[in-house]
Structure 1
Amino acid sequence: MKKIIPSIKESARKIPFDEYFLNQIEKWRLILSEDLILNSPSLLQEELNYLVQKLINRIIFLRICEDRNLEKYENLKNIVSYSELKKLFLKADIKYNSGIFDFIDDEFSLKFVINDEILVNIFKELYYPNSPYSFSVVDARILGEIYEMFLAKEAHIVNKSSIEIVEKPEVIESRGIVPTPKYIVDAIIERTVKPKCEGKNPIELSQLKIADISCGSGSFLLATYEYLLNYYLEWYIQDGVEKHTNELFEHTTGTFYLRLEEKCKILLNNIFGVDIDSQAVEVTKFGLLLKTLENVNSSVVATLSTRSRTGVLPKLSKNIICGNSLVDSNYFYFEPKAKVQENIYYRVNPFDWNNEFKDVIEKGGFDVIIGNPPYVRIQNIVKYSPKEVEYYKSKYSPFVTANKDNIDKYYLFIERAKYLLNSEGILGYIVPHKFFKIKSGQELRRLISSNKNLSEIVHFGVEQVFGTKTTYTCILVLQSKELDEFKVNFVSNIDDWRNGKNVQIEKYKSNYINETPWIFLHPKLDKLFKRINSENPVKLEDITEIFVGVQTSKDKIYIFKPVSEDNYFVRFLDSSGSIQEIEKSILRPCIYDEEKIVPLSRIKPNSYIIYPYKIIDNKAIPYSHEEMMSLFPKCWDYLSNYKQDLLSRSINLPASKSKEDWFYLFGRSQSLTKFNENPKIIWPTLSLKPRYAYDENNIVFTGGGNGPYYALQPKNETKESIFYIQAILCHPIIESIVQSRGSPFKSGYISHGKQFIKKLPFRTIYFENSSDVEAHNRIVELVTHLIELNEKLLVTNVPSKKEILHRQCKEIKNEIDYIINSLYKFDADEIKLSNL
């Protein structure tokens, strides 16, 4: 039994406290869960997680109090049984009465038996030399971050007898938990809480109501509480310490601190939080109470616990509450049985703001709402809470932002927070900035812009604030009242921004934005883009057809790289590594996972795709299975081997066709006729620069709205050459328009998807104008020559010759850009702007 908890004395000295302590409590969770389910096999899963969480919280709280000299040192270490521990907890309940040790509401915890030796081993791990850390100096914020990682998982009961620790479904669908960095929390508080406090006295401040409606482990509320404590303290000191002996006390060092009673009053008056995770709610309370006990000595606690009938710490059950911030009592109209069926009610956990925070709502709402709401796409919420999604989109839901497809949960939190603010309220969130531009963000953009609520954006662009988790974010600050203008702080380097260096802030009038995509530009670029658009009303979508690739829904079966080929057959390795041979006549050349697409070049295929369709009168007609067997027997045998795998897909078929018979067709019928004779321009969706390549060989590619490729063909009535169109797309100023519109991705890649390029201003050629015709024809000549040079570059191996070809290509590209500059009337200063 002594080896139940492995010794980590040596490793503890080598790793940071947060990592060490997270490992420690995760081990405790597993060991305690296994012991509880062994002794109480009838425990439900939520009961098990509750018991373990409560026990760990209580043990850590008392251990921290020991190192702060509020409890006798080694109290826990001297405990030898669970019955003794329960007695210690009951004494702590009388002393602190904080809810942590509340055994009136929590009689449940007293009923269970825990192996004494397990507890003894846990306690040993909390003291030197097994633990080299002092709990007296552990910041409540650090503990909160540790708990946030801890709460991403929970104990699952497997076969009623064993325990498995798994990630919670909502964590899986949000791609993991990463605590919000302190500098982000502080930056949001500076923009929201700080302006609400400035110039106010304690009486006025006592009316301030600040909330985080998805509080998680409480990092935002802890930081806000700390800010308020410091503000109150400074105010009292500045006003004269002799006037405020009831609020302040002087330490033997001469330093003044807030009295415990004053801190409790601030906490109860000012701080509010909600989270759907009951464990997170307990952690938030835990952190706030530990913060309250900072700089408090044992004599104060002893005096107050003797004098007070209610204990020394406040109960936070009316301030920090478990519930679903997005779902209120309207849900019962949507699903009436939820009111009477306990399992549904528990799962949805509706939260009635008017009842739970009645005083706040009756007075108009909260003054400040801050936080980091969950980022979960609605399609992923469906996987673990489908009814909730149905409600958001139903007539009973108050959310206008839910009317669009592909929304994210943070849209709803922004909308809910706006509703909960009073008429002078401020909202500060860290959220993805993708909603600025994408289609699903239209209603959210409308909601914010139509009411002129936008106050500030700190735009992090492609800079990452969440460490290893790639998320493109901004700080969004909204106000309830109408504003004449807002500002955007463009951050190109996180460290510089944190240190106040290279700050670039632009101001915009509130009517600059509406429900259309938000594009925040340098004012000079904005002026240039507006001129280009006004002088060139024809857009790219007017003269071309932009389209996505085919969608097989099983690319690994349909697409392969050839090992060898002849005029009739292509040979390749299948998924098992065996050589397969297929008729060449059912294959099309294809690009797949091709990263080396050279701009102003002729694209080369790197794969083949099985194409079970014939094109007749511009219609895609599937080969019948009889045709497949007679014309392409090798291909038929190959696809038949994968029939079960292919049947597992969704296949877009008319009602007259059965999936069983037509299993070999693509999953979707999109773009099937687009790869037939007509030249096209192909480009990758994600790119650092314009990479538009020419194709005249019916090369096929796959993909949907997110790529990986797009293509375009000139419309039949378009007179301009495809090479002229290709040159326009590769011009640096036209590309800068795409860069300003497109969503950013990791490593600076920008989306060149259809929605970002279709409105590009196109300089039409007036063919009755000889100078226009001359410019057009020269560009076509130069582009076709450049395409040939790029082909030569691919097969040239001599470095000196490659260098000459590169210089020649550059000279030709410069002349192309020079002619386009004259067509669009770009002057030298405007050309420089493309580098902004």
Structure 2
Amino acid sequence: MANYNSAKQKAYDVILHLADNFQNGIKSKNETETRRYYIDKFFEALGWDVGNEKGKREVIHEDIVKVKGKTKFPDYGFYFKGKRVFFVEAKDTKVDIKNDSRPAFQLRSYAWSAKLGVSILTDFEEFAVYDCTVRPKENDRTEAARIKYFTYEDYLKEGVFDYIYDLFERENVANGSLDAYSENLCNRKGSETVDVHFLSTLDELRTKLAVVISKLNREMSEKDINYAVQQIIDRIIFLRVAEDRNVENYGLLALANPKNKNEDDFKNYGFNGENSYYENLNYIFDRANEKYNSGLFDEDAIVRNLNIDDKTIKDIIDELYTPKNPYQFSVIPVEIIGNAYEQFLGKTISIDKNHKAVIELKPEVRKAGGVYYTPEYIVDYIVANTVGEAIKGKTPDEIVNIKILDPACGSGSFLLGAYKYLLNYHKEYFLKNKTKKYMGSRYEIIDESGNLALWVRKQILINNIFGVDIDSNAVEVAKLSLLLKSFEDSFNVNEYGQGSLLNEKILPSLDNNIKCGNSLIGNDFYESHLDLDDATLYKINCFDW
């Protein structure tokens, strides 16, 4: 055996003891026992606080959310400084991890959606490490994208223990072991990150909608077509994310299919049996407007009165569910959706002389050589050194009156970073100080998952986050991203009674927080430019808060 330092030797000895117990027949019978007696202790040996005894919540048991018996999160999420670093999907020892492709696909779809480099599938008896930069496909063989496969008999062999320890031990992860490993994987042939693929999906959805709306609604202007397409896609994506995050029932969007004759759905959503797929979808939007009151689903004559054929809507909806859809919206970070949308907003719908819709780069984007967005790690750095400095040492009650404004917010990447920083700061403060009250409320601050309760997240958003942008579509995307972030980690949202307990809707309206306009030019500009036509005035879009 190699000469190890004391920490590594201690981990070796614990894993040796676990392997001996397993070898001697002290095996568990189900997944819960496997996790408790073997998997938990295995990762504790690697330095992780699996039982949360130190209060850091670096290992989240994410399988607490089940929808219709289906787990919506992997079994373990491993975090460092609030950032998710890898997943572990645990199985009982009856599962054939080496040859059964279903658990491998499940793990890979979670980790790929979360934009993780690697993740682990194990029942302790078997241990598989997967390259999660490769897009999963439901018919993949189990060895597809599998980097390493071991059994418990291999754990202590020369090279195997070193591989596991050097890559997944907590301090090594803190020092960048997974970052370097994942970067190498991303440069391999066949890798395709979720944000790139999601942008491609958005482009496909936009093209399908734009073509059919232009064809079947010939009186519409380019401006109205761009607006309608954006609104429909935003609403569909929001509801699809809400389904996977247990805010809506899974399959909600598919209920709009005219072939659905379920009487309960007719009663709940107002279907009359004669409507088209799109008309039924609008009834679902109406119901969402009553539930969320966020502005996203406000009744809109342009969107409401469109003529769209059933096949187009069905194709779009089907594209967001398995088997066509590789995403697990329950774990896709909102930042990834926002980055994809930022690229998406660099394109516009134009109508050619034959009245056909063409998707092309906006002139200013083409001139600039494409869309440039600020990488998340740079956003995090800037936010930490601005927002972080402004709130350092302050209590939540003192932070209430601090306003964070981005005067040219685009699709909201900096606002999202600031909001995320505030959420983490408040969460750490409340956990550290064991605070039970916030702003005089009698309701719980921390929910059953150990995260900030939704009502607290809403208050922080409304109190602290503000933005302006001249692009109306970008404003809508910024709102969408912030709303999705507000319930990103809030489990069982409906059960908290945000509608009845607090006598308000689940989500807040951001109309007073995120506004459309040119923040460089005030309304007094118009006094000296009375001769401008409406189109020019629309482009200038003077703004005064």
**TM-score of the aligned structures, taking structure 1 as reference length:** 0.39
Over 3 Å counting, the alpha-carbon distance change for 1:326 and 1:264 in structure 2 is same
1:768 is matched with none
1:386-425 deviation digits (Å, cap 9, x = unpaired): xxxxxxxxxxxxxxxxxxxxxxxxxxxxxxxxxxxxxxxx
Higher strand share: 1
Output the CA distance in 1 between the equivalents of 2:503 and 2:212: 37
1:618 is matched with none
Residues 1:210 and 2:404 are matched in the alignment: yes
Over 3 Å counting, the alpha-carbon distance change for 1:41 and 1:9 in structure 2 is farther
1:72 to 249, 267, 275: 249
1:33 to 200, 210, 213: 210
1:53 is matched with 230
1:99 is matched with 295
Output the CA distance in 1 between the equivalents of 2:543 and 2:431: 40
Q: CA deviation at 1:223?
A: 0.7
**Preserved CA contact (<8 Å) 1:12 1:20:** no
1:136 to 319, 327, 330: 330
Residues 1:88 and 2:284 are matched in the alignment: yes
Output the CA distance in 2 between the equivalents of 1:91 and 1:71: 11
Q: CA deviation at 1:90?
A: 0.6
RMSD: 2.2
Residues 1:116 and 2:310 are matched in the alignment: yes
2:538 is matched with 346
Output the CA distance in 2 between the equivalents of 1:30 and 1:249: 43
1:228 is matched with 422
Output the CA distance in 1 between the equivalents of 2:503 and 2:301: 21
1:780-826 deviation digits (Å, cap 9, x = unpaired): xxxxxxxxxxxxxxxxxxxxxxxxxxxxxxxxxxxxxxxxxxxxxxx
Q: CA deviation at 1:346?
A: 0.6
Q: In the TM superposition, what are the counterparts of 1:524-539 in structure 2 within 5 Å?
A: none
1:442-490 deviation digits (Å, cap 9, x = unpaired): xxxxxxxxxxxxxxxxxxxxxxxxxxxxxxxxxxxxxxxxxxxxxxxxx
Residues 1:320 and 2:514 are matched in the alignment: yes
SS at match of 1:165: strand
Q: CA deviation at 1:52?
A: 0.3
Q: CA deviation at 1:312?
A: 1.2
Q: CA deviation at 1:247?
A: 6.0
**Preserved CA contact (<8 Å) 2:137 2:326:** no
Q: In the TM superposition, what are the counterparts of 1:644-793 in structure 2 within 5 Å?
A: none
Q: In the TM superposition, what are the counterparts of 1:483-562 in structure 2 within 5 Å?
A: none
Output the CA distance in 1 between the equivalents of 2:341 and 2:138: 21
Output the CA distance in 2 between the equivalents of 1:24 and 1:296: 26
Q: CA deviation at 1:125?
A: 1.1
Over 3 Å counting, the alpha-carbon distance change for 1:72 and 1:188 in structure 2 is same
Q: CA deviation at 1:133?
A: 1.8
The one-letter amino acid paired with 2:334 is: A
2:383 is matched with 189
1:686 is matched with none
1:566-620 deviation digits (Å, cap 9, x = unpaired): xxxxxxxxxxxxxxxxxxxxxxxxxxxxxxxxxxxxxxxxxxxxxxxxxxxxxxx
Output the CA distance in 2 between the equivalents of 1:347 and 1:205: 36
Residues 1:167 and 2:361 are matched in the alignment: yes
* The structure with more radius of gyration: 1
Output the CA distance in 2 between the equivalents of 1:298 and 1:113: 36
1:62 is matched with 239
Q: CA deviation at 1:350?
A: 0.5
Over 3 Å counting, the alpha-carbon distance change for 1:308 and 1:169 in structure 2 is farther
Over 3 Å counting, the alpha-carbon distance change for 1:82 and 1:308 in structure 2 is farther
**Preserved CA contact (<8 Å) 1:249 1:256:** no
2:531 is matched with 337
Q: CA deviation at 1:143?
A: 0.5
Output the CA distance in 2 between the equivalents of 1:162 and 1:309: 47
1:20 is matched with 197
Q: CA deviation at 1:182?
A: 1.2
Output the CA distance in 2 between the equivalents of 1:74 and 1:225: 30
1:201-242 deviation digits (Å, cap 9, x = unpaired): 112101111111111111100010010011112222223234
Output the CA distance in 1 between the equivalents of 2:317 and 2:398: 46
Q: CA deviation at 1:287?
A: 0.3
2:492 is matched with 298
Over 3 Å counting, the alpha-carbon distance change for 1:155 and 1:309 in structure 2 is farther
SS at match of 2:256: coil
Q: CA deviation at 1:128?
A: 1.3
SS at match of 1:232: helix
Over 3 Å counting, the alpha-carbon distance change for 1:331 and 1:175 in structure 2 is farther
Q: CA deviation at 1:183?
A: 1.5
Between the two proteins, the alignment pairs up a number of residues equal to: 340
**Preserved CA contact (<8 Å) 1:263 1:292:** yes
Output the CA distance in 2 between the equivalents of 1:60 and 1:180: 23
Q: CA deviation at 1:309?
A: 5.7
Over 3 Å counting, the alpha-carbon distance change for 1:140 and 1:290 in structure 2 is same
**Preserved CA contact (<8 Å) 1:248 1:256:** no
Over 3 Å counting, the alpha-carbon distance change for 1:23 and 1:170 in structure 2 is same
Residues 1:289 and 2:483 are matched in the alignment: yes
Output the CA distance in 1 between the equivalents of 2:522 and 2:280: 43
**Preserved CA contact (<8 Å) 1:67 1:73:** yes
Output the CA distance in 2 between the equivalents of 1:238 and 1:308: 26
Output the CA distance in 2 between the equivalents of 1:58 and 1:12: 30
The one-letter amino acid paired with 2:206 is: R
**Preserved CA contact (<8 Å) 2:224 2:302:** no
SS at match of 1:304: coil
Q: CA deviation at 1:180?
A: 0.4
Output the CA distance in 1 between the equivalents of 2:414 and 2:426: 18
**Preserved CA contact (<8 Å) 2:294 2:509:** yes
**Preserved CA contact (<8 Å) 1:247 1:259:** no
Q: CA deviation at 1:322?
A: 0.8
- Identity score, percent: 39
SS at match of 1:137: coil
Over 3 Å counting, the alpha-carbon distance change for 1:19 and 1:102 in structure 2 is same
**Preserved CA contact (<8 Å) 2:468 2:519:** yes
